[in-house]
Every structure is written in structure tokens, then in C-alpha cells.
Amino acid sequence: MTLQYINNELTMHGHRLSDIAKKYGTPLFVYDETMIREQCRRFHTALKASGLRYTISYASKAFSSIQLFNLMAEEQMGLDVVSEGELFTALQSKVPENQIHFHGNNKTNREIQYAMESGVEYFVIDSLDEIERLNTLAERPVKAVLRINPGVEAHTHEFIQTGQENSKFGLSVKKGLALEGIKKIQAAEHLEFIGVHFHIGSQIFESTGTIATVDLVIDWLSENHIEIDVLNIGGGFSIKYTEEDISYPIEEGIKSITDALKNACHRNNFTLPEISLEPGRSIVGEAGITLYEVGTVKNIPDVNYYVSIDGGMSDHIRTALYDAQYDLKLVNREEPHDKMMTIAGKLCESGDIIRRDIKLPTSIHTGDYLAVLSTGAYHYSMSSNYNQMLKPAVIFVTEDSIKQVVRRQTLDQLIQNDVLA
């Protein structure tokens, strides 16, 4: 991330963030566009080095916008979508329909029909009844990948673990449901079984869980004489929110996973499949920051020191939801982080906190700008209109450009669906 203090002001690619905040208003999401592209290229380079056939689909739930999707098309990334809304947005972009994968544990018939009409070719099937529904609704051949549940527990927050046995996602390998699903797909008239998918969780720092799952899946497929053309290992690669976190080591990590796949295939005399990835957070997470303006400062002697900003859980839900931790920086000057404080939002809930117990400069006062780091994934996309807050604008920055990619919501938009009398 190209954030640095120049002349006592925090800058991104040399552009003063306080100028950007003044021009577009706060709260504001600002992305380092160059870093997003670099992350895409790191995955490509690592996968190319493996010599395997591969595809990468950006998991659009991390942050969806048309200009971001156009960037993904330029970076040879496909898209993973999970709803008609994500698909609709994707269809407005330059990403070709045949590079959009339709996911989700409960696709509605309407969504399936919409995806069929839109030219989506690749579905990740998540249940036995979906196989029947998709086969009935499909009026042409559809490529089907089955999401399996390998029964592996990833080391991450329990709310974002997905591979354990008790999960709403995928079909259990151990309980025989996955095999039943494959047989059903193979027998379905309009479905072409091309492979299996797993995603064991999100914000995973290391590769051991994925490697164990690759081993388990290839052994299991081989034992059951099932051939696949595609192995989709999902996303879940971690990013650095604070100093304690580790950005997933993409180059070494992908090498160890692809080596494990090669070994497992070799051991089982199994034909090497194409490997597919669906990174979301690791593509956009560290590239994005949120800018806020400071309002009230409240000192409760011997209890806490609250600094409130002009947004909150409507644009930053992860602290309330997962007790997530963030680093912050004062934007409009550089000073030592010497005072313990809590950064709070302005919404009407005690849990509306950005960060508890963090050291920041004592001098922070009304009118200052604060930057919350690593908010590029699951912030804008998880934003809401709670308290009738407006969704912020989104800006992309490179060395030579500052461009708005999403406008701030307007008050009129807040009531546009209200039926008057």
C-alpha cells in the first residue's frame, strides 16, 4: 500500500488524502487501484509458475462495482457471483458471461433462470435438490461443479469457517452426500459434471488446511473412480488488518498448494485437473481504506476516551460482527500514537465501534480526518442504510489519477422506494 506521510500529511501515491476527503466528502472509501492490479498479477504469476491449467474468479461479494469488475476483466479475472444482484452488476461490466460463476447455497429458481438467460455457463451446485432444479430449468448444457464439504475445520473466526461438518454449505464427503451429488449430476440430462469445489473458510493465514483438503479430495475421488476436469479451492487467503496479522504469502502458499495437488494426483495416478481460485479479500482488502471526519471527543475520567467519527456500523460492520481489529492513522498530520482511546461511530448502538483501545495522537480533535486501514473487502459490500445513513462514495487512486467509481448515495435515493399514501 502506497500510504505515506509527505510534508506531515498522509498521502496515497503522493496524493493528499485530506484533499480527497474534502473534495468527495466523508465517510469515503479510497482504493489504491495499482495495488488491486498487483494482487491479481501475483496470483496469476504464482499459478503460471505451477505449470497447471488454472482460472481465477474474483469473489465479488468482497466489493462489487462496475469499474472494479472492468478492472478484473483487464486483469484476466473471472467473477464469482452469489445472487441476482451480484450477477446483474457483473453483467454491466466487461467480464464475459462465460467467465461468471454462479454460486450460493440457496439459488432461487428466478436466479437460475436469470443466469441461464444471461449466458452464464458455470454453476457451483450446493445441494441435492438444486441438481434437479437446475437440470429442469436449464434449457441448454450447463457446466456443473459440485461444492463439497470436506469436514475440515479452518483456523479462523467461527462465523467465517465453512468447511466443518455442521455447515449450510456444500455436500458432506464423510456422510456420502457428495458422492450421491456427483452421481446425480452425471445422470442429469443438461448438466455436464466438470469438477468439485471447496472453500474451507476466510481470512486463513496458512495453507495447511487447504493442503490437507486437497489430499483428502483427490484420495476420495480416486478411490471412487471419479474423474474431474476442475478442482476449485475457493478463496479465503488472509490479509493484514493489524501488525499481528499475516498477509497470506501468495507466492509460497500457491506453490505449496499446487505442489500438494501434483503429489496427490501422482500418488493416486489421477489426471491433473485445472485448478480454480476465488480470492476476494486478498485482492481488494489491503488496497482500501476508509476516511472519516472526527466529530465529538468525550473524556470519561478513568473510564474511556471516545473519539466519534461521521460514519460507523453502516459502513463498518466488521468490528461489531466479528470483533475485528483495525489500525488507524491520523490523516492531516503525523504525530506519535501516545493516547489510548476508543474510536466510535455515530449510530445509535453501543456496539457501534470502529476500534476499541487503540493508541492514537492525543491532539485528535473535531475536524481532523482519520483513516481506517485495510477496509477494502467486506466494508462497502456489507454497508447498510441503518439509521438512514447514506452509503459512501468510492474512489480509485493511482499515481496519475483520482477517479470516483461509486457516487455517494443521495437522500432522495433513501426514500425512492417509499410508497406515498
Is 278 annotated to bind ligand?
Answer: yes
Give least dist CB 317 to ligand LLP, A. Answer: 8
How far apart CA 383 and CA 380 sit, in angstroms, is: 5
Report the C-alpha dihedral over residues 289, 282, 167, 145, rounded to 10 degrees. Answer: 130
Give least dist CB 51 to ligand LLP, A. Answer: 24
The backbone region for 387, taken as left when phi is positive above 0, alpha when psi lies in -120 to 50, beta otherwise, is left
Is 378 annotated to bind ligand?
Answer: yes
How far apart CA 234 and CA 203 sit, in angstroms, is: 12
Give least dist CB 219 to ligand LLP, A. Answer: 22
Is 336 annotated to bind ligand?
Answer: no
Is 279 annotated to bind ligand?
Answer: yes
How far apart CA 66 and CA 94 sit, in angstroms, is: 8
Which string of DSSP letters, residue by residue, matches 51-92? TS-EEEEEEGGG---HHHHHHHHHTT-EEEE-SHHHHHHHHT
Give least dist CB 294 to ligand LLP, A. Answer: 25
Active-site choice (49, 187, 340, 348): 348
Cell of 351: 456496539
Residues interacting with ligand LLP, by CB under 6 A? 59, 62, 80, 103, 160, 199, 202-203, 234-237, 278-282, 318, 377-378
A 10 A CB-CB count for 271 gives 9
Backbone angles phi, psi at 395, to 5 degrees: -120, 140
A 10 A CB-CB count for 173 gives 23
How far apart CA 152 and CA 324 sit, in angstroms, is: 23
Is 227 annotated to bind ligand?
Answer: no
Is 361 annotated to bind ligand?
Answer: no
Closer CB to ligand LLP, 82 or 307, in the complex: 82
Closer CB to ligand LLP, 199 or 329, in the complex: 199
Give least dist CB 64 to ligand LLP, A. Answer: 12
Closer CB to ligand LLP, 157 or 333, in the complex: 157
DSSP-assigned beta bridge partners for residue 26: none
Give helix then strand counts, H and E, for the chain.
Answer: 12, 21
Closer CB to ligand LLP, 220 or 248, in the complex: 248
Is 104 annotated to bind ligand?
Answer: no
Secondary structure (3-state) at 269:
coil
**Residue 40 annotated among the catalytic residues of the structure:** no
Closer CB to ligand LLP, 27 or 279, in the complex: 279
Give least dist CB 381 to ligand LLP, A. Answer: 8
Secondary structure (3-state) at 255:
helix
Which residues are known to be catalytic?
Answer: 348
Q: Which residues are annotated as a binding site?
A: 236, 278-281, 318, 322, 349, 378
Q: Which residues are annotated as a binding site for substrate?
A: 281, 318, 322, 349, 378
